[in-house]
Amino acid sequence: MLPWQSAAWSGLADASHLPHALLFCGRAGIGKRQFVERLSVRLVCERETACGACRACRLASGGNHPDILVLRREEGKAEITVDEARALNEFLVLTPHLAPRRVAVIADADHLNRSASNALLKTLEEPPAGNHLLLVSDSPARLLPTIRSRCQRIVLPRPTIAEGLSYLKGRAVPDPDAMLALTHGAALQAEAWPPDTLALAMRLMASLEAVATGTQSAVDATEAWHAVDLDIGLSLLIDIAAHLAQSVLAGIPGSAMPAEWTARLRVLASRLDLGKIFRLWDEALEARGLATAPLDRRLVWDRLFILVEAPL
């Protein structure tokens, strides 16, 4: 278990007292999915502890426990479909094979499409006795309000600076201080990113500054970015937008970042009002949610850079 999750883990009641549906929220990259998958094992464990030694735990660790179903967005698809949601509903109403209960995990709940969400509501409105549904969400606002209202929400914490640095240093992540600052404490995201991510973030900041100050057009900036991995590029833009909002609202530029980063952040913060920053943030989040779909990358980046383009 990740060290910053121990309090949340011990705070959960025993399996017999857990509600039917739990919604686990928190920033991307803090270990929500790992926590929930471990909880699913705990719910079928013969000792109800996720002991790792019993037959149930051994089956679960290999992904073979018949009473656990994990639903993820399929590779290359933007959404979880209604057929997948219906299959999950059918799984939950069946009698458990080995464990005292069945557990279904929706690891990408933000990507339930409208029809899938409506299908899931049937299970939430008439929950099968004794079984559990565990949802994981980076952005719970994207879920239907009727889904949110029928789940008990648990917000998982991000690591403290000390915990995050200890984790990243233990895994030999380059520039751990700057990477932790860049990701706003999302240590697992910082670990997962390639070694040149910080340099890529600096390049993106330079492009944003050039467009915002009028020294480069949105079209020219797009030419420099359309070939970059879209998921990484948009993730960086989301983090940059968050740093910009923090800088404008609280005047905190991110002290662990290089001096060049701080200087560019100040220039951008002086050029963009909060409305533009939040529109940029929202557009990047929406585009990232569709990143696995066949998008025209040029159009995506052009739309984003136009948001920060200097007025004529």
Give a yes or no: residue 160 inside a domain. Answer: no
CATH of the domain at 240: 1.20.272
Give a yes or no: residue 163 inside a domain. Answer: no
Provide the residue-wise pLDDT of the chain in tens; the chain has 312 residues: 899 999 999 888 666 678 899 999 999 899 999 999 999 999 999 998 999 999 999 999 999 999 999 998 877 677 899 999 999 999 999 999 999 999 999 998 998 999 999 999 988 988 888 899 999 999 898 899 999 999 999 999 999 999 999 999 999 999 999 999 999 899 999 999 998 999 999 999 999 999 999 999 999 999 999 889 888 999 999 999 999 998 888 766 556 788 888 889 889 989 999 999 999 999 998 888 776 666 788 999 999 999 999 776
Which range marks the domain in which residue 18 is found? 3-155
Q: What is the pTM of this model?
A: 0.86
Residues 19 and 144 occupy one common structural domain: yes
Position 253 scores a pLDDT of 57
Give a yes or no: residue 95 inside a domain. Answer: yes
Give a yes or no: residue 170 inside a domain. Answer: no
Which of 155, 186, 208 lies at the terminal end of a domain, its last residue? 155
| Beta-carbon contacts of residue 54 (< 8 Å; ≥ 6 apart) | 45, 46, 47
Neighbours of 287 (CB within 10 A): 23
Q: Work out how many domains the chain is built from and give that number.
A: 2
Residues 205 and 122 occupy one common structural domain: no
37 CA to centre of own chain: 15
CATH of the domain at 17: 3.40.50.300
Going by C-alpha positions, the residue among 116, 84, 88, 113 that lies closest to residue 103 is: 88
